[in-house]
Structure 1
């Protein structure tokens, strides 16, 4: 029986390729189990199995942009098999509180509650540099009026909600709020189920299309109150059950993915459009630029100081239970 006939009799699920060399053609079979048979040598070599790590991030243009290179296999993965888990930020915060994810995007507010189990990665920050979560309504309200109105918020562990508490100078139990998915806040306000909406993500660019007005931009307020520092909104964390050496490898992988997207902006933005919720490419590009930039490559001293101030003020108010010592993967 010819070699090719024998291969066909063994299994049809295998992938068979010819590799040509100067010496002779070599028939290789890649099996579903991961092994590779080199028929010219007559033996099967087991493929090295990559370690699987869960990687949580939100289904939004900025996260899709950041992880484009990694998701499409365009950057070195460091020898890991990353399972991308796309969920909204409140869900990711909750899953991190249970230690379910190896690596995840997280609200800086939520990080204070999981800092014993997770370390911050130096790249992946979302910082509101002169902009941030907004309070929007069908008519303009003052701060004093908003304090007595019903507010739709995207989650109590979001940095937006912590910023709201700091701005109103009162803890959540003294605020009339309702938690709704972030992409339903516009509808909730327009139906009259809430007077004011606390919006995050691309809603900061599209609220006027919904007939709403901005009552306060919390990113602008934070910068005004804190020497021009950016408002720390989100970051990436890695679980400490992964040893320190591996954490550094993973950190480098994620930084490579972000750099790749910044260096190949047009194609990365094109990829992000599938998560852009009716945004055109120009608006998606603007939104990505707001939250994937130099801050995303590294917090720097200013970014780290802003996190410390943000969490310290929350702790002083009593809404951040313990003031964490920031732990970064270095």
Structure 2
């Protein structure tokens, strides 16, 4: 006869589905969780790796993942289903997406070109439209932008991720760094990507999972060498010292906590986007953790 005692130990851990991009900085952040160095009692974390524009679209149309990396530009489109985590963001301190070209263009000349961009929901695209509202764009996968410019299919491209460190090796010229432009305009850093968490998880779970991510980021920063060697498998075309530099640019104190000016920068970027007609919805930014 079966015992009527409840099987306390057989309770399945609650699965939290996490999605982030296959970049060295994201891999560095999630190293602690992905390798079980950071555990949370009663929870199991599963990781899906996918490029950021696909994640933006999936979060917008399906709200599929519990935690998802997103471009800040995408947030207004998914704010009903997701809140922003107060950690895990990539913020450019006077640097960010760049327009690069096969020749040296003036700023007024570049505004008249058709530019390859990595996706309409990327923050890079939003910053570009704030800089040059009239500019013509065509969407090209982010890792194909430099090859497309080199092939002569576009005169200029908007680059994100590691391309910011490697474009010079391809013989391309920097026309403008939008992170630098944004800092001159606003005196603020440029928030590029963050992590969003599904509201339907409820407050307690949202807070617990956000803390787990913060612990994972702290673990990476505290065990930099191990976290970096884990992240290297996702470092497209970067040697260790460049990967280290790239991770340092986008995983730092601000990744643990945006700070007041970081939060202000997120609000300002999205409010300006709305005021200038780039983002159709009014934006309500709220942070978890």
Cα displacement string for residues 220-258 of structure 1 (whole angstroms, at most 9, x for unaligned residues): 00001112x100101111011111111000011000000
The structure with more radius of gyration: 1
Structure 1: where are the runs of 5+ without partners?
1-43
Q: Partner residue of 1:74?
A: 37
Matched, 1:298 2:261: no
- Paired with 1:278 and 1:151, the residues of 2 have a C-alpha distance of 23
- Name the CA distance, whole Å, in 1 between partners of 2:226 and 2:43: 24
SS in structure 2 at match of 1:67: helix
Give the secondary-structure state (helix, strand or coil) at the position aligned to 1:241.
Answer: helix
1:167 is aligned, of 125, 131, 144, to 131
Match of 1:51 in 2: 14
Tell me the matched-pair count. 282
Query: Is 1:117 the counterpart of 2:76 in the alignment?
Result: no
Report the TM-score when normalising by structure 1: 0.83
Judge conservation of contact 2:76–2:284 (CA < 8 Å) in 1: no
Distance 1:140 1:96 in 2: 38
1:185-196 equivalent positions in 2, closer than 5 A: 185-196=145-156
Q: Distance in 2 between matches of 1:287 and 1:79?
A: 34
Local SS of the residue matching 1:249: helix
Is there any run of 5+ residues in structure 2 with no aligned partner, and where?
A: 1-6
Match runs of 1:172-251 below 5 Å:
174-227=134-187, 229-251=188-210
How many Å separate the matches in 2 of 1:162 and 1:247? Answer: 28
Q: Shift in Å at residue 322 of structure 1?
A: 2.0
Q: Does 1:280 align with 2:239?
A: yes
Q: Distance in 2 between matches of 1:81 and 1:207?
A: 39
Q: Distance in 2 between matches of 1:57 and 1:324?
A: 23
Give the superposition deviation at 1:82: 1.5
Write the deviation string for residues 178-202 of structure 1: whole angstroms up to 9, x where unpaired: 1111111111101111111100001
In the other structure, the counterpart of 1:150 is: 114
**Within 1, Cα distance between the matches of 2:8 and 2:209?**
27
For residue 59 of structure 1, report the CA deviation from its aligned partner. Answer: 0.2
Alpha-carbon distance in structure 2 between the residues aligned to 1:309 and 1:156: 19
Cα distance in 1 for residues equivalent to 2:18 and 2:79? 17
Q: Would you say the 8 A contact 1:120–1:328 is kept in 2?
A: yes
Aligned counterpart, 1:61 = 24
Mapped partners of 2:70, 2:142: distance in 1: 15
CA RMSD of superposed structures (Å): 1.2
Contact (CA 8 Å) 2:28, 2:228: kept in 1 or not?
yes
After TM superposition, give the deviation of residue 46 of structure 1 in Å.
4.8
Name the counterpart of 2:98. 134
Q: Which one has the bigger helix percentage?
A: 2
Q: Is the 8 A contact 1:120 1:329 kept in 2?
A: yes
Look up the match of 2:3: none
Cα-to-partner distance string for 1:277-320 (whole Å, 9 max, x where unaligned)? 12111110000000000110011110010011101111111011
Query: What's the counterpart of residue 254 of structure 1?
Result: 213
Q: In structure 2, how many angstroms separate the alpha carbons of the residues matched to 1:152 and 1:51?
A: 42
Structure showing greater relative contact order (alpha-carbon pairs closer than 8 Å, 6 or more residues apart): 2
